[in-house]
Amino acid sequence: MQDEGPILATLALRDNALLPGVEERACRVPVLGLAGRPPPAACVAEFLAGPDRYAAVSREDGRLVFHFDIQRTITALLHEEFCAPSPPLVARLPVGYHLLPGRLRKGLGRALYAWHRLRRRRAPVPWPAWPIDRTLEVLLGLLRAAGRTCPDVITELPLAPGRRYVVCLTHDVDSRAGYERIERFLDLERKYGVTATYNIPGARYEVDRRRLSALVEAGFEIGLHGHDHSGRLAFLGEEEIGARIREGLQRFDGLDVCGFRSPMLLRSAPLFRALEGAVLYDSSVPDSGTFAGGAPFDGCASVFPFRRGKLLEIPVTMPSDADLQLCGWRADRIGALWMRKLDWIAAQGGVAVLVTHPEPQFGGDPRMLACYEQVLRRVAGDPGAQVMTGKALARAVLGREPA
Ligand SMILES: [Zn+2]
């Protein structure tokens, strides 16, 4: 068995007492640094790769011994080292997709999603699991059982007494049509006494600064949602990306913007480098991808924030309205999925990051607004839920430890 490069194996727990509270007995893991020896008698977890079995963890002299590089494997998961990012079609069109007529744009979107879903089904190693991937839960549980921690993953959230998990409500206001509908979302949020983040492109449509200022004063957050929302930003050179980010931040100067969401969650190493130092946090990586990237490995598998250099990464952990609608899902099915995922994230003590789009064809549709209200009702009525903006979460996490 090779030592370099990931191998997708099934990690099977052989000792039921090893991870109390973790229901999963097996999960798929792209594993790094797998040693080649067969499982010893004291093996408490092993890897199954095709017909082969390998030791994963054994108990020797009363302590747990790892036979793979667990820290390195976790880091590789978080940073999506298993992805092979390439600019998607939307970023390679001769004109920005947003300049296409509405019906053509929607038809193209649906066709692209169908193509991505097919690619994913045919991928030799479909991972992470969707919509819930338990890989990191199991790996962090193994580290904990060994008395070790992973300092990059923020599992100790800044929670008020009695709270168990965080909910970040976010809206990607892609277009003017969406911007004109944000009041419908704000009305619901005020009704349930919660605040949310409105992510706005740096250079796509005019905004009313006084209106946004009043929102920020009332505890809402304005985040930067790329530049012109063409999908190209992540695939420019680092300097060019940096210049566009600075331009957007300047435009929203005075609105305390410190968070970034990439349009369509398109991301790249140059984008993350350009964001470092420009903003406090990024929220452009799904825990488990919704086919938008089209890659079989799409997502960081984490429902916890984690450090990316000086940035805090706050993963998008709830599948977005637009992604699901473009896959042909109806509102009632989307609402049921959101509730299921929310339950799981609550049980993990993680961060539920919900993305909705106020555009009339997505979250702004009355049936989808009813779905959103269902989430707000559930969260507002749950004494364990702590609703906070990404800005508040990032400041609390980055402020308590040296960067
Ligand atoms: Zn967007």
How does pLDDT run across 317-354, given as a tens digit for each residue? 999 999 898 888 999 999 999 999 999 999 999 999 99
With pLDDT > 70 as the criterion, what percentage of the chain qualifies?
86
pLDDT in tens, 22-63: 777 888 888 876 766 677 778 899 999 888 888 999 998 989
Predicted confidence (pLDDT) per residue in 179-196, tens digit:
999 999 999 999 999 999
Exposure string of 49-58, with b = 16+ CB inside 10 Å and e = fewer, is eeeebbbbbb
pLDDT of residue 271 exceeding 70, the answer is yes
Label residue 18 by pLDDT band (50, 70, 90). confident
Which tens digit of pLDDT belongs to each residue from 102-126?
A: 667 777 777 766 766 666 665 555 6
Q: Is 377 helix (H, G, I), strand (E, B) or coil?
A: helix
CA of 395 to the centre of ligand 1 (A): 24
CA atoms of 261 and 304, how far apart (whole Å): 17
CA of 281 to the centre of ligand 1 (A): 17
9 pLDDT more than 90: no
Quick one: average pLDDT of 207-236?
A: 96
* pLDDT in the model for residue 128: 82
3-state SS, residue 378: helix
Cα–ligand 1 centroid distance for 295 (angstroms)? 19
Which helix (H) or strand (E) is 185 found in, with range?
helix 182-191
Distance 60 CA to ligand 1 centre (A): 51
Amino acid at 170: T
Cβ-contact 189, 196 below 8 angstroms:
yes
Per-residue pLDDT at 1:
42
pLDDT of 296: 47
Ligand 1 centroid vs 150 CA: distance in angstroms? 32
Q: Measuring CA to CA, which residue among 371, 394, 390 is closest to residue 319?
A: 371
Architecture of the 135-400 domain = Alpha-Beta Barrel (3.20)
Rounded Cα distance, 134 and 350, in Å: 12
How far, in Å, from the CA of 213 to the mean position of ligand 1? 21
Residue ranges matching CATH 3.20.20.370 in the chain: 135-400
Give 200 Cα–ligand 1 centroid separation in angstroms.
Answer: 8
User: What is each CA distance from 233 to 174, 315, 316, in whole angstroms?
Assistant: 14, 19, 19
